[in-house]
Chains A and B, each alone.
Chain A
Amino acid sequence: MLKSFFLRAPAVTGLSLLIIALLLSVSIAFPPFLDPVNLKSAFDDTALLMMMAVGEMFVLLTRSVDLSVAANAALTGMVVALFNAKHPGAGILPVLLISLVMGSALGAVNGLLVWKLRIPSIVVTLGTLSVFRGLVYIISGGAWVNSGQMSHAFLNLVRLPLLGINLLSWAGVLIAILAFLFLRYSLTGRNLYAAGNNPEAAAYAGIDVGRLQCVAFMLSGAIAGLSGYFWVARFGVAYTDVASGFELQVIAACVIGGVSISGGAGGVVGVILGALFLGIIKNALPVVGISPFFQLLISGLVITVAVALNSGTQRKTHGRHILESKKVTP
């Protein structure tokens, strides 16, 4: 176990160095960026990306992909916002419960279609992405739920300061720690790697690959649902375009963090670094004085370079994939 960590370590080290270099260059261009208040706000912003990327990682590990995470967040976020607007007195616990249950139920829809009907996950989640977004229109009638309609508790839970950072940041940290322990020490967690690394061998070893994929989708869905509530509370508005296009950033964070699109490889530490990397870029671009017309291009270039660098270091260290060229794709 220790050995495998060191095998992965070079990728993580490379990314850490990249992040430090990025922080340094940003702070040269704009020194106040390193101000604790600014870093706190940037970390809040990154926490959402971080937790959703951790959820996505579970799915990627099993050789699947979940394109519906952002749409799931939008739908669940709208449902809890409508619930809160109707029943402001119900408090925050039902909101958290609904977001987790509904998020994992939406994830289960993806998971069951992948598991039972053996439809490729990219096709399934491309479909459910539109279905979930479509449902946001239907249940909201296209109208917004505004911060004025949300209860104080609903809005301020994410802003609750705790030991220097906000609860939203803690939620991101907590989910990352739980995911780390789950993948490292639980049988299901270990099996996720096995199922993605070599599905056929895993099946011979008695691992139900389809069921594990379904579990991964439900975990991803539950986190997406919870993030949906956090998102709506953080920005104080629930509308149809919540987290629009965010699934691509989530997947990018995973890939930058060394999670393999072809399954079976990657870890929580890498994903956190990947999310931090993207989060820093997103929060730094507005302050370093780059023309808005160049921001999209630059963030795209930096991501591409990071992925290229990281996959380079990863290939060299991945002794386990000796049969890569003969790998059977499902």
Chain B
Amino acid sequence: MERRHLLQVTAAALGATVLPAFAKPARAAGKIRIGLVAKSLGNGFFLAVDKGALEAAAAIGDVEVIFTGPTEPTADGQIAVIQSLIAQHVDAIAVSANDPDALVPICKRAMSRGIKVMSYDSAISPGGRIVHLADSSNALIGQTLDELAAAAAPGGVGKFAIVSATPTSTNQNAWIAAMKQDLPKYPGLDLVSVVYGNDLADDSYRQATGLLQKYPDLKVIVSPSSVGIVACAKAVEDAKLVGKVFVTGLGLPSECAGHVAAGSIKSFAIWNPIDLGYSVVEIAVDLVKGATGPGQSLPAGRMGNISFGADGVGVMAKPFVYDASNVRKFVKIF
């Protein structure tokens, strides 16, 4: 207890510039306190993460979630916030990092005080965290996009095309490669073309219109770009092909809801922030309870077990699929 007291004073002194840490009550015995740091406050995505975190905290019991973050999405702001969490002597800190490297020193300091530090959504570089929980992986995203294409094509049979962002966009290319790798599972699907809308609404719209002209029997357009998916949906609606051609891909519920209502999008996917917040708290509690992290498979309640590689990176799940039944619920979130 003596050592802990000393640390508390040091940490408080460090944090004093940010927050009057002395005013905080001492840690209640047995209760696990987790600092959940957003990229910025007022961002709907992170409010949903907090919602999921509270769900996990209630399910586990004796867990307190301190949801916080800077007002602007900067690394400086997050450093100040983490300093104050150190001063409050939380048991674990989970951060969605605005900068992978800038946060490493402050997170190292937190870990040297015995606080379990992890990142989620946006990673901190390996030296600054024990584990990182990614929303999803390239392979899982590729698989999900194939599933969505198969679900959109009547009977899982027909031609489909991809409207990507730019030909050099790393993420998109990795996802498309994963789609192609997984495609043999769907013998009915025929990938006829990959075109590039450059993440611009007009270019994507034009490319989609070109696809509709070139392949009159096209069944599905997959766009793994949030700009692309809505532009393709608009192109299908304007070509009066709703019900004949379906658009799917990765998009945000608030941006796609109108097209789900119009019928051009049957279903689409993106990570589920509620599940993410839930998993973060489950994993953080595992770490506080003594799990070492890298190389382990850790239990995460209703999300099942999440395995972390030797590099400490774990993948939560496949992207979550949204359709007419649930999209309304998420529109206000992100």
- Chain B residues 137-188 with CB under 8 Å of chain A are 167
- Chain A residues 130-147 with CB under 8 Å of chain B are 144, 146-147
Beyond A287-B213, A287-B214, whether A148 also contacts B257 by CB under 8 A is yes
Q: Is the CB of B213 within 8 A of A32?
A: yes
Residues of A within 8 A of B261 (CB): 148
Beyond A32-B213, A235-B205, A237-B231, whether A146 also contacts B199 by CB under 8 A is no
Q: Is the CB of B258 within 8 A of A147?
A: yes
State which of A60-68, A210-218, A240-248, A257-265 sits at the interface with chain B: A240-248
Q: Is the CB of B255 within 8 A of A144?
A: yes
Q: Is B254 an interface residue (CB 8 A)?
A: yes
- Chain A residues 13-49 with CB under 8 Å of chain B are 30, 32-33, 35, 37-38, 41, 45
- Chain A residue at smallest Cβ distance from B73: A142
How many chain A residues touch B (Cβ–Cβ < 8 Å)?
A: 34
Give the Cβ gap from B262 to chain A, nearest Cβ, in Å: 8
Q: Is the CB of A283 within 8 A of B206?
A: yes
Q: Is the CB of A292 within 8 A of B167?
A: yes
Q: Is the CB of B206 within 8 A of A237?
A: no
Give the Cβ gap from A19 to chain B, nearest Cβ, in Å: 19
Residues of B within 8 A of A38 (CB): 213
Give the Cβ gap from B47 to chain A, nearest Cβ, in Å: 14
Q: Is B239 an interface residue (CB 8 A)?
A: yes
A-B contact count (CB 8 A): 83
Q: Is the CB of A239 within 8 A of B209?
A: no
Residues of B within 8 A of A148 (CB): 254, 257-259, 261, 331
Beyond A144-B255, A146-B258, whether A235 also contacts B201 by CB under 8 A is yes
What is the interface of chain B mostly: helix, strand, loop, or mixed? Answer: helix
Beyond A148-B261, A286-B209, whether A243 also contacts B234 by CB under 8 A is no
Residues of A within 8 A of B259 (CB): 147-148
- Chain A residue at smallest Cβ distance from B254: A146
Residues of A within 8 A of B227 (CB): 237, 239, 241
Q: Is the CB of B196 within 8 A of A41?
A: no
Q: Is the CB of B167 within 8 A of A293?
A: yes
Q: Is B200 an interface residue (CB 8 A)?
A: yes
Whole-angstrom distance between the alpha carbons of A285 and B206 in the complex? 10
Residues of B within 8 A of A41 (CB): 209, 238-239
Partner of B196, one of A32, A239, A292: A292
Partner of B255, one of A45, A234, A237: A237
Give the Cβ gap from A289 to chain B, nearest Cβ, in Å: 8
Q: Is A159 an interface residue (CB 8 A)?
A: yes
Q: Is the CB of B200 within 8 A of A241?
A: yes
- Chain B residues 225-254 with CB under 8 Å of chain A are 227, 230-231, 233-234, 238-239, 254
Beyond A146-B255, A236-B234, A286-B195, whether A243 also contacts B209 by CB under 8 A is no
Partner of A236, one of B199, B209, B258: B258
The 8 listed contacts between A and B (C-beta, < 8 Å) are A30-B214, A146-B257, A146-B258, A159-B238, A235-B201, A241-B200, A241-B201, A246-B202
Q: List chain A positions with a Cβ less than 8 A from chain B.
A: 30, 32-33, 35, 37-38, 41, 45, 144, 146-150, 159, 231, 234-237, 239, 241-244, 246, 282-283, 285-287, 289, 292-293
Closest 9 CB pairs of A and B: A286-B210, A148-B258, A147-B258, A235-B201, A236-B234, A287-B210, A292-B196, A148-B257, A287-B214
